[in-house]
């Protein structure tokens, strides 16, 4: 394990991380994360070659799931949320029931220490509990449908949200790999499927992927929530796997 210098330790103080917590995070990381994300956080652990999609490279500082501006580092709470809930459709599991709250925060702080240092970025999207969710309605969905078309979301996600738009086959991530756009009809979102989760994704974008931030394109709250409700309405009714396995299908 590479040694983290004093500057790295001190940089975490803004995220409420003390050296003792960092040491605790290092221990948790070795036990639970190193096999995929690598000893140095570069996404090249011994299990990484077998995984698709590949584990995140923490050294790059590029994180998909954030409540901060596109291109900014995530907040500590953002990383805690991802480690707690996991990422649906990938090999990243939920550790909410496998780690104590203290271990979740400690390992999240350790993960952040791999990336670029600097001031703690400002929160762009409020925490889910603090968001005022505008209610869903037929009128909101119709407004969202019009926005879906005007923003050309169908170019990637398809006119019916099936991930089969004309640009779907050429959409690439930051590694140059073709990244199929999400099929909204499945109803499973990597960043979470609640209205607040989808809202956060639209406003912040997913760094490292072709999904941009629409925060500037949708300055009005009503428009943001209209698009959220429309996209979530594209989900199909639960099918056989949901009936067989309950609320969570095998790939969730």
Do 105 and 76 form a contact (C-beta atoms < 8 A)?
yes
pLDDT score for 15: 45
pLDDT score for 238: 54
Task: Evaluate the CA torsion angle 50, 51, 54, 58 in order and state its sign.
Answer: negative
Write the DSSP assignment of 54-95 as a string of letters: PPP-GGG---SS-SS-TTSPPPHHHHHHHHHH--TTSS----
The domain limits of the chain are: 6-114, 128-240
Tokens encoding 23: 């040491």
Tokens encoding 204: 């912040």
pLDDT score for 252: 36
pLDDT score for 250: 36
Domain 128-240 in this protein, CATH class? mainly alpha
Q: What is the pTM of this model?
A: 0.82
- Whether 6-114 and 128-240 share one fold: the answer is yes
pLDDT score for 2: 41
pLDDT score for 237: 60
Average pLDDT of the segment spanning 228-245:
72
Neighbours of 219 (CB within 10 A): 9
Does the domain spanning 6-114 belong to CATH 2.160.10.10? no
Give residue-wise pLDDT tens across range 90-135: 899 999 999 999 999 999 999 999 999 888 899 999 998 899 999 9
Tokens encoding 234: 């594209």
The four Cα atoms 59, 60, 62, 65 give a dihedral, to 10 degrees, of -20
């Amino acid at each position: 394990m590479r040694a983290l210098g004093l500057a790295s330790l001190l940089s975490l103080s803004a995220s409420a991380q003390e050296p003792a917590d960092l040491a605790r995070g290092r221990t948790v990381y070795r036990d639970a994360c190193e096999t995929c994300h690598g000893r140095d956080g570069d996404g090249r652990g011994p299990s990484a070659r077998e995984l698709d999609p590949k584990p995140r490279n923490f050294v790059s500082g590029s994180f998909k799931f954030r409540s901060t501006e596109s291109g900014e580092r995530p907040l500590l709470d953002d990383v805690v949320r991802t480690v707690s809930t996991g990422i649906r459709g990938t090999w990243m599991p939920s550790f909410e029931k496998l780690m104590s709250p203290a271990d979740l925060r400690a390992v999240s702080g350790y993960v952040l220490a791999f990336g670029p240092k600097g001031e703690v970025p400002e929160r762009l999207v409020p925490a889910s509990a603090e968001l005022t969710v505008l209610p869903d309605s037929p009128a909101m969905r119709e407004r969202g449908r019009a926005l879906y078309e005007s923003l050309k979301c169908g170019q990637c996600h398809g006119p019916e949200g099936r991930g089969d738009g004309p640009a779907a086959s050429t959409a690439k991530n930051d590694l140059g790999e073709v990244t199929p756009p999400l099929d909204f009809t499945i109803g499973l979102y990597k960043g979470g499927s609640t209205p607040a989760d989808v809202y956060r994704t639209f406003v912040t974008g997913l760094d490292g992927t072709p999904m941009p931030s629409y925060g500037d394109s949708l300055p009005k709250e009503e428009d943001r929530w209209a698009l959220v409700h429309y996209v979530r309405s594209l989900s199909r009714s639960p099918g056989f796997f949901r009936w067989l396995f309950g609320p969570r299908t095998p790939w969730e």
